Amino acid sequence: MRKAEKAERIAAQLESFYPETPIPLDHTNSFTLLVAVLLSAQTTDKKVNEVTPDLFALGASAHEMAQVTSEQILAVIRPLGLAPTKARNVAALARQLVDLHDGEVPADFAALEALPGVGHKTASVVMAQAFGVPAFPVDTHIHRLAWRWGLSNGKRVEQTERDLKRLFPEEKWNKLHLQIIFFGREYCPARNHDWSTCPICGWAGIKCRRVDEARRQRRKS
C-alpha cells in the first residue's frame, strides 16, 4: 500500500475514533495555554492540569505573571519534571511578553520560538490550538506512531513533521495532531505494545512490527 493511501485510511479511522478533539491542557486564554504547553515537557498533561489552577491563580496573564517570582512559581509547579528550569522560563517568558509584545502572545512562529523555554513543538501547539494556524506539532506519541505506521523513518522529529505534513491535507493537521495523541495514549504505549490487537498498527505497521520484534529478541539475548 502506498503511503498516501495508508495515510488516508489512517485519517478515516482516527476520525471514527475521535470525532471530537478537546485540548488536553486546561487553559483560559492564549497565555495560559502557552504556559501549560511549556510545563508539559517530560510531564503528563494530567499532572500539568493538577498544578495550573494554583499557578494561574497567581497570574492568568503575562502582566500578572510578570509580577510573580520564579521562586513562587517553583513552589507551585514543583511536582513537575524539570520544575526549577520551567519556573525560571515561565517568569522570564512573562516579562518578555510584557516588554516586547505588550503582554500579548504573538501569533508568529519566530516570535514564539524566541521566548524563553519555547521550542518549535510548543510554538506549533500554540499556533494550532490558540490561533487556528495549520501546524503539526510532533510529540513522543506522534513520533512513535508515525514510525510504527510506516509514515516516517522515525529518526528525527523534524523529519517526522515534514513527512506527516506531506502526507495529510493541511486542513486536517490541527485535528490529526490531537487524534494521533489520543490514539497513542489509548492503544499504542511505548512499551509492551501488542501489535496484533492495535486497530491501526495491526494492518499499517507490518514491516515496523518485524523490526520491533527483532529488537526485543536482541535485548533478550
Can you tell me the distance from the alpha carbon of 116 to that of 45, in angstroms, rounded to the nearest whole number? 20
212 a catalytic residue = no
Asked if 54 and 76 touch (Cβ cutoff 8 Å), the reply is yes
175: number of CA atoms within 13 Å, CB side? 15
Please tell me which residue in 26, 45, 108, 139 is annotated as part of the active site: 139
> What DSSP string describes 85-153?
HHHHHHHHHHHHHHHHHTTPPPS-HHHHHTSTT--HHHHHHHHHHHH--------HHHHHHHHHTTSS-
d(CA 81, CA 43) in angstroms, rounded, equals 6
Q: Is 46 a catalytic residue?
A: no
Amino acid type, 90:
V
* C-alpha triplet 82, 153, 182: angle, nearest 5°: 55
The single-letter DSSP state of residue 66 is T
41: nearest Cα among 127, 132, 105, 119: 119
Would you tell me how many other CB atoms lie within 10 Å of the CB of residue 202? 14
List the catalytic residues.
121, 139
